[in-house]
A and B are shown apart, each in its own frame.
Chain A
Amino acid sequence: MKKKFFQLSTVLIVVVLISALFLVGGKGKKEAPEGAAPEETVMRVGSQKERAEALAKKYAGVTVTILTEGIAAGPPKAFAPQFEEATGVKIKVIESPYVETMSRPLVEHEAGTGAIDIYRIVPDWVPDFAAAGVIQSIDDLVKKYMTEEDLADIEPGYMLATMFYEGEYWGMLMDGDIFILYYRADIFEDPEAMKRFKAKYGYELAPPKNWEQYNQIGQFITDFTKGKVYGGAGNRAPGQAYYWFNQLFRGAGGRFFDPETMKPTINGEIGRQTMEQLVKELEFGPPGMVNWGTAELWSGFVDGTVAMQFSWPPSGRFAEAASGLANYPTWLPPTKVAGKIKYALLPGPFKGEGPPGAGMMGNGFWTLSSDTKNREAVFAYMMWMNSAEMALKTSLFPNSLMDPYRISQFAAPEYKAAWPNAHLYLETLREAGKYALVPTKVLGGTEFDEIVDVAVTSVMGGMPIQAALDEAAKKMEEVVNRLGKDRVKASYKDLLKMQDEIRKLQY
């Protein structure tokens, strides 16, 4: 017995050492395999959709596989037959729980399976995935196959905020997830409410220009309706709370780091004010709001329980149960507020004047896997779904969570006719592009977002604000040091650069 164990352990140690050596060898970033397209003049005539189909036809018989979150899989699945018929390229959709869309790509890449061609991710993950070699840039493909017009149709703020990394195109925006304010116009325009509000606060009852006004309006509405309608609500549940933090923090000009020293500045004045604001909103918010996630938020909103909310654009659509946008989500209560909703840009500063802020939060973003065997065919599909016609169809798809991001979508007559105030909705969303806040698209972005999330839920759980923020800052610093200060600094500077580019749109 003893001898057997001795032998076994020797074998074990040897194998451990061998595998350690094997791994020390390391694997560099995978070079993207060249597409197999023969030399031809690239088609420049026709719409983006037509050109995409022409490109894809060259690869008929190939299968393109896309990994996407289950809830967002509707459009790719629905339009797959149409694409197959037009081009002969088959589409396979793998649906997965949201969290797996983050870890799965890495597993597939490190195992070198090449089984998945498109990863539907959020822009925040691009630097991490790029560093890990999981995805590849599509810059050369965009420049080769897409025209100025194709790209000009994408609202510039949206594009600048999401599609670029290190000066190159890294993915196709498919979903214009931007935060704006949705409010109950019937309450805001109620004469009695307006009178009393003006009397109390001295300014007109209107969408807030800063967060102090937001609080005043929120508290007022809760009191005015005697608690039947709560002034405002937002998500505080773990997993999404950081979006609300980021909206406030970045909108007020907050920065995660000092760009030169890379010292975290999240625990400074703006961070503190952000947390205080998040806590303050609980005062006039519905009971139990501290547990709220998106499902509760949207349910409360369409139910009429909440007067102001800011989150993703589908909430505005679903509140109208617009009959051009068929099928209502099955988990949402019937809307009681159709026709009563108006839209506004979210305040930027906490007090006083300043530009509004519109966070780009978790946009559906298609990226190209590094291990794909059919670069051009896959890109053709991405280009096709991104085209103006398909983008419009996708956003009008029943139950769709895909929101407009192309100028043609914002101006589309079908969309504008979907409900009486639809044109206001589209205008506000489009306008928001000018004030878009770049998501946490840096190396280590996922970790920073989670650190923020943890800080928020800690505060919600009773931790003192400054302590939670200091803790967050400390953790961020550890991450920066671990990943390499220079590398994170470079990606952070890139983020700030894009933010500056967006700011130029305001003039």
Chain B
Amino acid sequence: MGEDRLIAERRGKPWALILRKSGRYIALILAVLFFLFPIFWIAVTAIKQPGQYYNYPPIWFPKRPTFVHFKAVRTTGIGGYTALKNSFIITSCSTVAVMLLGTLAAYAMARFNTGGRNLAFWVLSQRMLPPIAIVFPLFLMMRIIHWIDTYQVMILFYTTFNLPFVIWMLRSYFVEVPVDVEESALVDGCTRIGALFRVVLPMVMPGVIATAVFAYIFAWTEFLFAVIFSRTRVVTVPVALGTYFGTEGQLWGEAGVMAVLSMVPIFVIGLAVQRHFARGLTLGSVKG
């Protein structure tokens, strides 16, 4: 903001400043409206009276909202709250695991160019084959070690599937960081890993956070493997939601509730990590 003022003042056009400022907020608000509208829609669906889903004209907000679906979710299908618990366990564990492994690998590939272009491309190529092609062989593998319908198998898969993404994202953020700071840390007696965690990571915190958030999201919303590898014990939210929409009926209310509940964790996390994105003109941590 300060630079705006600088420039505006320099050029003697104070109104440009106001325009730019309000323009920014208007644009942001419009964007938020657009991105929130469907979420608003599904959230309202959770409290609509039964049968208010197909209306002409469409109902934007029920006159008498009801919370009956919140209770219904517990007993519908596999149990919405159980599914939330399962999803939470699986997603959290796999996100921690993938961030650990991915950070190490990304750092090596960014700093030492380990494996060069070939390794980088190979990592990326892991995600290019359509999942349907590997479902059955993986099922065979997991059957042999009796891991079907267990937490381990889901955590294993989500960690593995997210690795290419995490590695590539972190690598790009690491590359942004100039080498000098690390070098000085190393000279001061830090180990490589120490330098990584204590010096480099804090500098790319926004990138790390963003990556972790998306690793979390990808694991949370994954459907195909969740439905094939779970039977009754590790049913996750996407699978539970899948069972709400059937041939002779669609449980909109319950779906709305689950959709809203499943967004709460990430919303909370999102709010919590804001500070890492608060970098302004005031202070850059990279000094000489």
> Which segment of B27-35, B132-140, B165-173, B272-280 sits at the interface?
B132-140
B232 near A92 with CB under 8 A, answer yes
Residue contact B247 to A71, C-beta cutoff 8 Å:
yes
Given contacts A330-B253, A334-B51, 20 further A-B contacts (CB under 8 A): A69-B243, A70-B246, A71-B246, A71-B247, A95-B243, A97-B239, A97-B245, A111-B136, A111-B143, A113-B148, A287-B56, A294-B247, A295-B249, A298-B249, A299-B54, A314-B248, A330-B50, A331-B51, A332-B51, A333-B54
Task: Give 1 or 0 for each of A346-372: 1 = CB within 8 Å of chain B CB.
Answer: 000000000000000010000000000
Interface residues of B, Cβ cutoff 8 Å to A: 50-54, 56, 68-69, 72, 77-78, 118, 135-136, 139-140, 143, 148, 227-228, 231-232, 239, 242-254
Q: Is the CB of A111 within 8 A of B140?
A: yes
> A330–B243 contact, CB under 8 A?
no
- Which of the residues B54, B232, B248, B251 comes within 8 Å of A330, measured between beta carbons? B251
* B224 vs chain A, min Cβ distance (A): 10
With A107-B139, A296-B54 already in contact, the answer to whether A401 and B248 are too (CB < 8 A) is: yes
Q: Mark A301-325, 1 if CB is under 8 A from B, else 0.
A: 0110000000010100000000000
Kindly provide the distance from the CB of B131 to the nearest chain A CB, expressed in whole angstroms: 13
Q: Do A294 and B249 have beta carbons less than 8 Å apart?
A: yes
The verdict on A94 contacting chain B, using a C-beta distance below 8 Å, is yes
Residues of B within 8 Å of A331, CB to CB, are 50-51, 53, 249-253
Flag if A97 contacts B232 (CB, 8 Å): no
Shortest A240–chain B CB gap in Å is 7
- Does the CB pair B54–A329 fall under 8 Å? no
Q: How many residue-residue contacts, CB under 8 A, span A and B? A: 105
Contact A362 B247 (CB under 8 A): yes
- A100 interfacial by beta-carbon distance below 8 Å: yes
The reply to whether A330 and B247 form a contact with Cβ atoms under 8 Å apart is no
Q: List the B side residues contacting A163 at CB < 8 Å.
A: none
Q: Report chain B residues within 8 Å CB of A287.
A: 56
- Shortest C-beta distance, A414 to chain B (Å), equals 22
Chain A residues, CB < 8 A from B118:
1, 5
For residue A98, CB closer than 8 A to chain B, the reply is yes
Contact check, A70 vs B143: say whether CB atoms are below 8 A apart.
no
In whole Å, how far is A143's beta carbon from the nearest beta carbon of chain B? 32
Complex contact A295–B250 (CB within 8 A):
yes
Complex Cα distance A300/B54, Å?
8
Q: Which residue of B lies closest to A335 (CB)?
A: B51
Known: A70-B77, A328-B50. A107 touches B252 (CB 8 A): no
A74 to chain B, nearest CB (A): 10
Q: Is the CB of B247 within 8 A of A98?
A: yes
User: Which residue on B lies nearest to A329, using beta carbons?
Assistant: B249
Q: Can you report 29 A-B residue pairs in the complex whose CB atoms are below 8 A from each other?
A: A5-B118, A69-B243, A69-B246, A95-B243, A97-B227, A97-B243, A97-B246, A100-B228, A100-B242, A104-B228, A107-B139, A107-B228, A113-B143, A240-B247, A294-B247, A294-B248, A295-B53, A296-B54, A300-B54, A302-B51, A312-B248, A314-B248, A328-B50, A330-B253, A330-B254, A331-B50, A331-B51, A331-B252, A401-B249
